[in-house]
Structure 1
Amino acid sequence: MKTCLTFLAAVTLASPLFAAPAAETATGWTTLFNGKTLKGWNRINGTANYVVKDGTIVGTTSKGSPNSFLCTDKKYSDFELEYEIKIHDKRLNSGVQFRSKHFGGRVEGRVNGPQCEAENTEIKGGGESGYIFAEATKYYWLVPNDKRTPHKHFKDGEWNHFRIKAVGPRIQTWVNGELVCDLTNEEFYKEYPKGYIALQVHSVGNNGPFSVSWKNIRIREMGKSN
């Protein structure tokens, strides 16, 4: 089937959402991280270290490790996801997987699926935070090269607020209130309609250790999940 792909970039929102997460509210938001333990999460792939520190999840690279992922036990389909992320070293990039799985990718057993990129603007080729990378799949970037315009919405060395809205084949992302990505890909959605949320610690070879942190992770489901 012919791929349907539309894209919109660099649009400023009038009222970005920066509300603090709640355990469960009347509006349907659920906290995925309680600030105390990693209950409900499971590391898949790699040997990066994930710990809870000062109410945040801190992921630290491990020499020689491939990409590591801290995955939710639960799978999600249609949702809005919000979180804050800080990358502590400008040489590291990271991201958050969603609707992902750990089978059927280019390498069997490796976490694969859509990832919302996060990277410092100073990294080589930087400024692509919020664009959708298709981790360990045949698709590579879901956003075409000519549409993946570098930007300065990500604040290096600081906390950054991300929002992902995935409804059917349409995926939208915001970085610090700025709409970065609005795409629809029917072919990709058929392969990845539902899956884990996962926090990535990227491989760094024998460099590092480098760290990345997350906090205020919450989700509002719009469809069935298990």
Structure 2
Amino acid sequence: MKKTQIIKLSVMSLMTSLCLAQCTPEKKQQSDEWDYLFDGKTLNGWTKITGTADFIVEDSAIVGITRSKTPNTFLVSEKQYDDFILEVDVKVEDDFGNSGVQIRSHYDPDGKNGKGLVYGYQVEIDPTERNWSGGIFDEGRRKWLYPLSLNPESQKAFKKGQYNTFHIEAIGHEIKTWINGVETSYIADDADARGFIGFQVHKIANPKHEGIRTYFKNIRIKTKNLKSTPFKKDVFVVNNLKNELTTYEKDHGWQLLFNGKNGQGWVGAYKDQFPASGWTVNNEILSIEASGGEESANVGDIVTKNEYSTFDLAFDFQLTEGANSGVKYFVTLSENNPGSAIGPEYQILDDKRHPDAKKGRNGNRTLASLYDLIAAKKQSRFVKPVGEWNKGRVIVYPDNKVEHYLNGAKVLEYHRGSEAFRNLVTQSKHKIWKNFGEATEGHILLQDHGNKVSFKNIKIKELK
């Protein structure tokens, strides 16, 4: 072969490699693993539903454009998918360009009084200062599943005004997201196993925000020979599977405190065995039955057999109307007092119907508060109504900083043993207990306050 022919072949090979990496989707070669869902020229294979915002094709990208006086608008795939790995490049140029990528989603044309309802998992696109891009929202149903307050280190991954690569894996019950290679969200959930893929143009409240553009390009999917990508860093998993842990959680030190079958690992406070009645396990749910609304006057509290010092504790709870309960920690059982055992308490309460919500000081006896000490600062959209499951979480760090969360949103923090904490104790009903809340370790307690309250998915990770 002549030298000039070799040079020509080398140049052609280089150009082909560059095109595969940089050309628009319609010029890229389809691989055996990836399929492109957008041809770069038309909206073939896609349908617009629920709203009247515009979707156009421009410069090999799908462009969603906001319009006033319309609800959320979605462009959805005509094909449905179950397990997949999806990648899409997204650009938003304005703070008010809220959007999202729908996965395993559905459409009810009769929903919202005949206006149509889209519901299902949405990977958030959030260009605001909140920076929750990559979080997971349950559109039209449960709302936030994974706000990025659960993974604040990932909030800087999304860059406004430039294209960002979203990598989304939905394999089995697990959904994980990355933005520009940064691990953002991780949930285990069984609400939807299959559905369409879509893009949202969010409704706007102010007509001045009409015309905001969101761009989607290089939309590709893999549905065969799937292999889940493990998260490298230690992140919190929102696990909605009933009393199960993912392999990732087990590998990172999480343990179940309730096995879904019986009271193993728990005993009655000041007792040596699990109560024979009052506390029940049915359908993998642990409940304290109603007994008149008095504190520990019937069956009494239950506590873990083990004691804990620094930990991440998560639990799901369900209130009945007007109910009161709590999750306490650093319970030493040394006081031998009548009524509920002593320890800092994550308050569980029906704020609207129980009178305790109006007692105390400045709301410090309301839901998710540090009972009688610090009020939880919570938004109503992060509170699930009575009868639905809420998610509580308490983190105690090695430096004695403590955080309370409600449904993924942090609602308070404090430092055990600090001067500020001790000052609060002197103004509370806990002032009669020496060194309240400052034990080096203690039991976890579920409170019997005479009302029916249920628990599941109770898990803990000891911190070092």
TM range (shorter): 0.7 to 0.9
Question: Aligned residue for 1:143?
Answer: 146
Question: Aligned residue for 2:31?
Answer: 25
Question: Aligned residue for 1:175?
Answer: 179
Secondary structure in 1 aligned to 2:146?
Answer: coil
Following the alignment from structure 2 to structure 1, what is the Cα–Cα distance between the partners of residues 219 and 192?
22
Root-mean-square deviation over aligned CA pairs: 2.2
Over 3 Å counting, the alpha-carbon distance change for 1:92 and 1:117 in structure 2 is same
Question: In the TM superposition, what whole-angstrom CA distance separates every residue of 1:14-54 from its partner, at most 9, and x where no partner exists?
Answer: xxxxx66656312x210000100000000011001011011
Question: In the TM superposition, what whole-angstrom CA distance separates every residue of 1:173-201 from its partner, at most 9, and x where no partner exists?
Answer: 0000001112212xxx2x31111100110
Q: Shift in Å at residue 104 of structure 1?
A: 8.7
Following the alignment from structure 1 to structure 2, what is the Cα–Cα distance between the partners of residues 157 and 101?
30
Over 3 Å counting, the alpha-carbon distance change for 1:170 and 1:105 in structure 2 is farther
Over 3 Å counting, the alpha-carbon distance change for 1:85 and 1:77 in structure 2 is same
Q: Shift in Å at residue 143 of structure 1?
A: 1.7
Following the alignment from structure 2 to structure 1, what is the Cα–Cα distance between the partners of residues 134 and 147?
14
* Alignment pair present for 1:208 and 2:210: yes
Following the alignment from structure 2 to structure 1, what is the Cα–Cα distance between the partners of residues 80 and 37?
12
Larger radius of gyration: 2
Same amino acid, percent of matched pairs: 39
Any unmatched runs of 5+ in structure 1? 1-18
Contact 1:105–1:112, Cα closer than 8 Å, also in 2: no
Question: Aligned residue for 1:60?
Answer: 65
Over 3 Å counting, the alpha-carbon distance change for 1:105 and 1:97 in structure 2 is farther
Following the alignment from structure 2 to structure 1, what is the Cα–Cα distance between the partners of residues 29 and 69?
37
Following the alignment from structure 2 to structure 1, what is the Cα–Cα distance between the partners of residues 137 and 211?
24
Q: Shift in Å at residue 222 of structure 1?
A: 4.0
Secondary structure in 1 aligned to 2:118?
Answer: coil
* Alignment pair present for 1:131 and 2:135: yes
Following the alignment from structure 2 to structure 1, what is the Cα–Cα distance between the partners of residues 174 and 62?
29
Question: Aligned residue for 2:46?
Answer: 41
Following the alignment from structure 1 to structure 2, what is the Cα–Cα distance between the partners of residues 183 and 131?
10
Contact 2:169–2:176, Cα closer than 8 Å, also in 1: yes
Following the alignment from structure 1 to structure 2, what is the Cα–Cα distance between the partners of residues 156 and 52?
20
Contact 1:23–1:31, Cα closer than 8 Å, also in 2: no
Contact 2:68–2:204, Cα closer than 8 Å, also in 1: yes
Secondary structure in 2 aligned to 1:65?
Answer: coil
Question: Which amino acid letter does the alignment assign opposite residue 213 of structure 1?
Answer: Y
Question: Which amino acid letter does the alignment assign opposite residue 91 of structure 1?
Answer: F
Over 3 Å counting, the alpha-carbon distance change for 1:183 and 1:100 in structure 2 is same
Greater Cα shift, 146-155 or 212-221: 146-155
Contact 1:131–1:148, Cα closer than 8 Å, also in 2: no
* Alignment pair present for 1:51 and 2:53: no
Question: In the TM superposition, what whole-angstrom CA distance separates every residue of 1:191-214 from its partner, at most 9, and x where no partner exists?
Answer: 311111001101013232211010
Number of residue equivalences: 197
Contact 1:80–1:166, Cα closer than 8 Å, also in 2: yes
Secondary structure in 2 aligned to 1:151?
Answer: helix
Question: Aligned residue for 1:8?
Answer: none
TM-score, L = length of structure 2: 0.40
Following the alignment from structure 2 to structure 1, what is the Cα–Cα distance between the partners of residues 177 and 195?
18
Following the alignment from structure 1 to structure 2, what is the Cα–Cα distance between the partners of residues 131 and 56?
23
Over 3 Å counting, the alpha-carbon distance change for 1:117 and 1:146 in structure 2 is closer
Over 3 Å counting, the alpha-carbon distance change for 1:39 and 1:176 in structure 2 is same
Over 3 Å counting, the alpha-carbon distance change for 1:221 and 1:31 in structure 2 is same
Alignment of 1:66-215 (within 5 A): 66-103=71-108, 107=112, 109-120=116-127, 123-124=128-129, 126-137=130-141, 139-143=142-146, 147-149=150-152, 151-185=155-189, 189=190, 191-205=191-205, 206=207, 207-215=209-217
Question: In the TM superposition, what whole-angstrom CA distance separates every residue of 1:30-88 from its partner, at most 9, and x where no partner exists?
Answer: 00001000000000110010110111111101111111000000000000000000012
Following the alignment from structure 1 to structure 2, what is the Cα–Cα distance between the partners of residues 61 and 158?
19
Greater Cα shift, 90-99 or 71-80: 90-99
Question: In the TM superposition, what whole-angstrom CA distance separates every residue of 1:152-182 from its partner, at most 9, and x where no partner exists?
Answer: 1001111100000001110010000001112
Over 3 Å counting, the alpha-carbon distance change for 1:213 and 1:145 in structure 2 is closer
Secondary structure in 1 aligned to 2:199?
Answer: strand
Following the alignment from structure 1 to structure 2, what is the Cα–Cα distance between the partners of residues 155 and 60?
19
Following the alignment from structure 1 to structure 2, what is the Cα–Cα distance between the partners of residues 51 and 146?
34
Question: In the TM superposition, what whole-angstrom CA distance separates every residue of 1:114-164 from its partner, at most 9, and x where no partner exists?
Answer: 0000111xx25x211111000010x21112675153611001111100000
Richer in strand (by share): 1
Over 3 Å counting, the alpha-carbon distance change for 1:23 and 1:204 in structure 2 is farther
Following the alignment from structure 2 to structure 1, what is the Cα–Cα distance between the partners of residues 151 and 29?
35
Following the alignment from structure 1 to structure 2, what is the Cα–Cα distance between the partners of residues 203 and 69?
11
Question: Which amino acid letter does the alignment assign opposite residue 78 of structure 1?
Answer: D
Question: Which amino acid letter does the alignment assign opposite residue 216 of structure 1?
Answer: N
